Structure 1
Amino acid sequence: MSHKPSKAYYVEGVHRFWIDEGYVVCRIECSDYYARQAQNFCGGCKEMDFLLYHPERRDLWLVEVKDYRFDARPKVGELVCALSRKVRDTMFLLRAASVAAPDEEPAEGISLRDFSIQASGAETLHLAFLLEMGMGGVWTDGGLLANVKNLLVGSMRFLDAELVCAPITYPRRIGPWRVTSAHGEVSKRVEIRRARKLAEIQEQRRRERLTAQEEGAWQEKSREDAGSHAAPAEERMPQWKRRLRQRMNGESANHEGRRRKRKRE
């Protein structure tokens, strides 16, 4: 069996993944169908980082990469639950996209629709979780990873009883890929995510400017209307100021004094 890597690579985090020749690759996050439509279903969908399929071998791989050396790691139970949900949602997306996703031209790999249609003929399914756990506290890094693997196998044995759970840079061959350093390069899906975030920020700022302009125009119109129907200065003066002015002028500012003044007038 040939394990010749292709010349194309895919960046994930701080690593490059060189996929063996013969495998087609799909990166779900590059799909607009996933980002703009599937995310509206049941509170959103999760996805695996790499989907690999070999049409001749009918071999399907779902690969997830997590590096907690730089970010806070969740508790083991929470991590296993999150990874299990990614597998479940990805399996749902593969079926849904094969009949409902539009034709797309993703930044990386083939479209989700094309991949889903090809992968529908898969005869074997492999799950791979490439995890860097960071410091494990009382656990060693290897012991913590072994605990995670046992829990994953317990919950997903019906899909792949021999699933892969290993460090990202595991030295021995465990799947149809080879890992090297990315040397500061970022993946195209990160560029897409940044572009989407920038577009959202620009749209929010545009709306804020429009709202400020509308409020300014409304306030200006209100001032103009108030000026054209302005009441006499005496009427616009607060009552306590009018009473104070009456006392300073020697006038009685109580009700009885005002009643007598009206009679005299």
Structure 2
Amino acid sequence: MSVSLDIDGQRFHFPDDWQVLKYDDSAFHRNQFQSFAGGAKAVDAVALSPTGECWLIEVKDYRRNRRSKPGSVFAETAGKVRATLAGMATARVRANDSQERVFCDRALHGDSLRVALHLNQPAHASRLFPQVVDPRTALTQFRRELRAVDPHAICCGKGVARPALPWHVA
């Protein structure tokens, strides 16, 4: 048995002993923090390993829809990571839901902070569905954006690299 979570139509399976929160759907983010300072974005999920690793996970799927936002998907993700960390720091003391408060406290007191962008794009570019990023440089660009938080951030998915991760996607 594993901990499963549906994120943007993809099923993520984590080991049994992990704790996972779909952060952008959490009561604290939706009801208390999302409208703060003109609006705050957030990563899709936060996962805690039993060894104290905290993973901030963002999921993007461009296989069927083009990217319509200006700017880099990596810069957008970095902004979401920053906003999520600020939100979790606030949630650990201000969240109305005690389980969310405890989860965020554990996440921020973990041994390491990791970031993963699960980016799906067409394996073969076309005019209708161009590749959002060059798979050859995706990891370098992503790590450059996130080096202050996680110098070893991971950019993975279909049409990009597929490193070994502690979870799998079905």
**TM-score grouping bracket, smaller chain normalisation:** 0.7 to 0.9
Q: 2:20 aligns with which of 9, 19, 25?
A: 25
Larger strand proportion of the pair: 2
CA distance in 1, matches of 2:44, 2:118: 10
The alpha carbon displacement at 1:69 in A equals 1.1
- Picking from 140, 144, 156, the partner of 2:134 is 144
* 1:52 matched to 2:47: yes
CA distance in 2, matches of 1:76, 1:175: 30
8 Å CA contact 1:169, 1:179 repeated in 2: no
Give the paired residue count. Answer: 167
The AA in structure 2 aligned to 1:121 is H
Query: Any stretches of 5+ residues in structure 2 without a counterpart?
Result: none
Q: 2:168 aligns with which of 164, 175, 178?
A: 178
Residue 7 of structure 1: how far off its partner (Å): 3.1
Q: Quote the residue 2:59 is aligned against.
A: 65
Distance verdict in 2 for CA 1:168–1:100, change over 3 Å = farther
| TM-score of the aligned structures, taking structure 1 as reference length | 0.56
User: Rg larger in 1 or in 2?
Assistant: 1
SS in 2 for 1:11: strand
For the 8 Å contact 2:120–2:158, the answer to whether it is kept is yes
1:113 aligned onto 2:107: no
Q: Is the 8 A contact 1:27 1:51 kept in 2?
A: yes
Instruction: Name the amino acid aligned to 1:152.
Output: F
TM-score by length of 2: 0.84
Deviations 1:155-204 (A, max 9, x none): 21122111110115989552221111xxxxxxxxxxxxxxxxxxxxxxxx
Cα distance per residue 1:184-230 (max 9 Å; x no partner): xxxxxxxxxxxxxxxxxxxxxxxxxxxxxxxxxxxxxxxxxxxxxxx
In the alignment, is the contact (CA less than 8 A) between 2:135 and 2:160 conserved in 1? no
Return closer, same or farther for 1:146/1:90 CA change in 2, 3 Å cut-off: farther
Measure how far apart 1:75 and its partner are. 6.7
Report sequence identity in percent: 26
Specify which structure has the higher proportion of helix. 1
Q: Read off the aligned partner of 2:86 and give its amino acid letter.
A: F
Q: Could you tell me whether the CA contact under 8 Å between 1:145 and 1:166 is conserved in 2? A: no
Superposition map of 1:1-265 within 5 A: 6-54=1-49, 56-74=50-68, 77-103=71-97, 111-134=99-122, 136=125, 144-168=134-158, 174-180=164-170
Report SS of the residue matched to 2:28: helix
